[in-house]
């Protein structure tokens, strides 16, 4: 084998190795490794990190102070002043595991713990908030009682009107003025010590459905938005795929409280369990594919739509945003309507069937909500960048790079003639507070992700092109040299002898011929 042939063989080997390994074998190895690392199998690092997130989520609460409560009782539009943020480290942990090896599934309860963060992660604030601030908000417990009685048993409204003063310390308004820390975590007293018949009847119902209340004793309860949930495992039990057999199913919710679908809404589309548990997502996410997660506290799944590519701290990613939809116009969301014949306008999601309380969910400051609701209050200023839900993902590994889940909780009021405190109030949807759960990977984590995976991928990516170029160059060089050598060998071959024909009339004499001369 000549050296030109050897050069051609080496070039072919380099080209084929660069092409096959760089475009196929290495990609398969990387995907296989990612698939193994993401599986939620007992004893793995991924299972440990998924079970108890190693860093806290940033949790912010913004409340709305009603500055004209007396005027509202006379029919005036509520005027709002945002107060916050009140900041907390939110620690998420899964407990009570049971694995099903045959189905490749794991079941658990979620536990959330909030720790007050007065410095708000070093954020520049106008003033330091401690939770001691006094604030006026709609009295959610009182209003929930009145609104739910009107909805379910309107014949008992007169009795509810008589019992309200005994339960809520003879209020003169539908608004509650209290310390922020009591409203959020410590609790506001609900008194069931009265022997009044109406109060006793109402308290009997409260005792039967007191899971959202802190029970001090059999007659005293405390109501707060987060106190009972803080550091307590949820009653709901979720079952998800572990992704050991199929990594595309990792974290996929397949059952809630042992059932493959909910029984909350009026249609099968709304009761479906779609998406993951929101703490893990499958890898190899294709642009344009919706990211879906199940939110048990909302009794529904939420989808985030692809908006375009982004670059986060040097890593390429995809940007997604989410809304609460429009049950009034989207046929697939009609089953979320309060009744088959009544639907809220765009951007409103009614939690009554989910939570048992007449709470309406929106994006903060009524962002992406029908303008009608903005006209019912003063003081809201929706801003896309501040109030939207968004998520940034690294698509190859399915790693969330940054995310902000923002939701606002509101309560509706209107005239109820049989409730003294509500005889003259206007029709309005009053924001109570909004929350922001946020996570942004720091540079150290990004560098670790980049160093362990993407730097290797870039090196291989460059190397495969170098191998391809070297291989093609070697093959091209071999062809060129072979052609050149062939031309040289052709030029060195001796020319064949030339026999010239003599001119006409010339006689040839054959010296060996003895006969007469031969004529032409």
Q: What is the mean pLDDT of the chain?
A: 84
Answer whether residue 325 shows pLDDT above 80.
Answer: yes
DSSP state at residue 52: B
Predicted confidence band of residue 211 (pLDDT cuts 50, 70, 90) = confident
Predicted confidence band of residue 485 (pLDDT cuts 50, 70, 90) = low
How confident is the model at residue 395, as a pLDDT? Answer: 86
- Please give the model's pTM, rounded to 2 decimal places: 0.82
Predicted confidence band of residue 470 (pLDDT cuts 50, 70, 90) = low
| Better-scored residue on pLDDT, 46 or 83 | 83
How confident is the model at residue 315, as a pLDDT? Answer: 83
pLDDT tens digits, 145-185: 999 999 999 999 999 999 999 999 899 999 999 999 999 99
Tokens of 491: 């030029």
Answer whether residue 475 shows pLDDT above 60.
Answer: no
| Better-scored residue on pLDDT, 59 or 286 | 59
Helix (H, G, I), strand (E, B) or coil at 387: helix
Rounded to whole angstroms, the Cα distance separating 457 from 136 reads: 56
Average pLDDT over residues 429-436: 98
The segment with the largest mean pLDDT, out of 30-39, 45-54, 207-216, 445-454, is 45-54
Among the ranges given (29-43, 137-151, 214-228, 501-515), the one the predictor scored with the smallest mean pLDDT: 501-515
Answer whether residue 76 shows pLDDT above 70.
Answer: yes
Q: Give the Cβ contact number of residue 401 at 10 Å.
A: 23
Answer whether residue 518 shows pLDDT above 50.
Answer: no
Among the ranges given (286-300, 341-355, 361-375, 500-514), the one the predictor scored with the smallest mean pLDDT: 500-514
Answer whether residue 9 shows pLDDT above 70.
Answer: no
Average pLDDT over residues 312-338: 90
pLDDT tens digits, 405-418: 999 999 999 999 99
Average pLDDT over residues 378-386: 96
Predicted confidence band of residue 458 (pLDDT cuts 50, 70, 90) = very low
List C-alpha distances in Å: 29 to 25, 35, 221.
6, 10, 58
Helix (H, G, I), strand (E, B) or coil at 261: strand
How confident is the model at residue 299, as a pLDDT? Answer: 95
Average pLDDT over residues 78-84: 96
pLDDT tens digits, 271-309: 999 999 998 898 888 888 899 999 999 999 999 999 999
pLDDT tens digits, 87-146: 999 999 999 999 999 999 999 999 999 999 988 887 777 778 999 999 999 999 999 999
Among the ranges given (71-80, 115-124, 184-193, 324-333), the one the predictor scored with the smallest mean pLDDT: 115-124
Tokens of 520: 């032409």
How confident is the model at residue 28, as a pLDDT? Answer: 59
- Nearest residue to 370 (alpha-carbon basis) of 407, 327, 412, 338: 327
Among the ranges given (1-5, 32-36, 282-286, 471-475), the one the predictor scored with the smallest mean pLDDT: 471-475
Answer whether residue 463 shows pLDDT above 90.
Answer: no
Answer whether residue 21 shows pLDDT above 50.
Answer: no
Answer whether residue 514 shows pLDDT above 50.
Answer: no
Rounded to whole angstroms, the Cα distance separating 49 from 59 reads: 19
- Nearest residue to 129 (alpha-carbon basis) of 80, 62, 189: 62
How confident is the model at residue 7, as a pLDDT? Answer: 53
Q: How far is CA 373 from the centre of its chain?
A: 27
Tokens of 339: 């009744």
Tokens of 508: 């040839």
| Better-scored residue on pLDDT, 346 or 446 | 346
List C-alpha distances in Å: 448 to 34, 375, 454.
15, 49, 10
Among the ranges given (198-207, 221-230, 456-465), the one the predictor scored with the smallest mean pLDDT: 456-465
With a pLDDT cut of 90, the percent of the chain lying above it is: 56
Q: Is 120 exposed, middle or buried (0-12, 13-18, 19+ CB in 10 A)?
A: middle
Rounded to whole angstroms, the Cα distance separating 176 from 199 reads: 20
């Amino acid at each position: 084998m000549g050296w030109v042939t050897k050069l051609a063989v080496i070039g072919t080997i380099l080209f084929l190795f660069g092409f096959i390994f760089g475009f196929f074998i290495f990609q398969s190895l990387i995907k296989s490794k990612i698939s193994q690392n993401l599986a939620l199998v007992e004893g793995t690092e991924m299972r440990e990190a998924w079970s108890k997130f190693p860093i806290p989520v940033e949790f912010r609460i913004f409340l709305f102070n009603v500055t004209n409560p007396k005027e509202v009782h006379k029919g005036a539009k509520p005027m709002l002043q945002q107060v916050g943020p009140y900041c907390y480290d939110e620690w998420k942990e899964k407990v009570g595991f049971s694995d099903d090896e045959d189905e490749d599934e794991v079941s658990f309860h979620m536990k959330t713990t909030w720790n007050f963060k007065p410095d708000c992660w070093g954020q520049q604030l106008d003033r330091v908030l401690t939770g001691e601030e006094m604030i006026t908000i709609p009295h959610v417990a009182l209003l929930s009682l009145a609104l739910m009685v009107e909805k379910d048993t309107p014949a008992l409204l007169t009795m509810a009107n008589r019992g309200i003063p005994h339960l809520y310390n003879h209020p003169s308004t539908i608004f509650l003025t209290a310390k922020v820390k009591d409203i959020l975590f410590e609790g506001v007293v609900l008194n069931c010590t009265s022997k009044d018949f109406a109060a006793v009847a109402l308290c009997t119902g409260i005792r039967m459905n007191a899971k959202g209340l802190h029970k001090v004793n059999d007659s005293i309860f405390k109501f707060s938005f987060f106190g009972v949930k803080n550091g307590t495992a949820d009653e709901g039990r979720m079952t998800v795929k572990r992704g050991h057999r199929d990594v595309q199913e990792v974290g996929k919710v397949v059952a809630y409280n042992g059932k493959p679908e909910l029984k909350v809404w009026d249609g099968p589309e709304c009761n479906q369990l779609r998406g993951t548990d929101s703490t893990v997502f499958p890898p190899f996410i294709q642009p344009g594919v919706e990211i879906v997660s199940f939110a048990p506290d909302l009794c529904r799944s939420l989808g985030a739509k692809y908006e375009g590519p982004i670059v986060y701290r040097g890593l390429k990613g995809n940007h997604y945003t989410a809304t609460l939809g429009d049950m009034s116009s989207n046929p697939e969301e009609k089953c979320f309507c309060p009744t088959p014949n009544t639907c809220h306008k765009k951007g409103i999601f009614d939690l009554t069937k989910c939570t048992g309380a007449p709470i309406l969910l929106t994006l903060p400051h009524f962002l992406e909500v029908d303008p009608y609701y903005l006209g019912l209050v003063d003081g809201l200023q929706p801003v896309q960048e501040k109030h939207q839900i968004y998520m940034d993902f690294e698509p190859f590994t399915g790693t969330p790079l940054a995310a902000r889940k923002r939701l606002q909780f509101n309560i509706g009021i209107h005239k109820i003639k049989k409730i003294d405190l509500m005889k003259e109030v206007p029709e309005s949807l009053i924001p109570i507070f909004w929350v922001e759960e946020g996570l942004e990977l720091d540079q150290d984590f990004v560098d670790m992700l980049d160093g362990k995976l993407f730097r290797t991928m870039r090196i291989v990516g460059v190397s495969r092109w170098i191998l391809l170029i070297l291989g093609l160059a070697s093959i091209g060089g071999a062809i060129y040299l072979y052609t050149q050598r062939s031309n040289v060998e052709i030029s060195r071959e001796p020319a064949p002898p030339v026999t010239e024909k003599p001119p006409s009339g010339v006689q040839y004499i054959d010296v060996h011929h003895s006969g007469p001369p031969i004529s032409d």
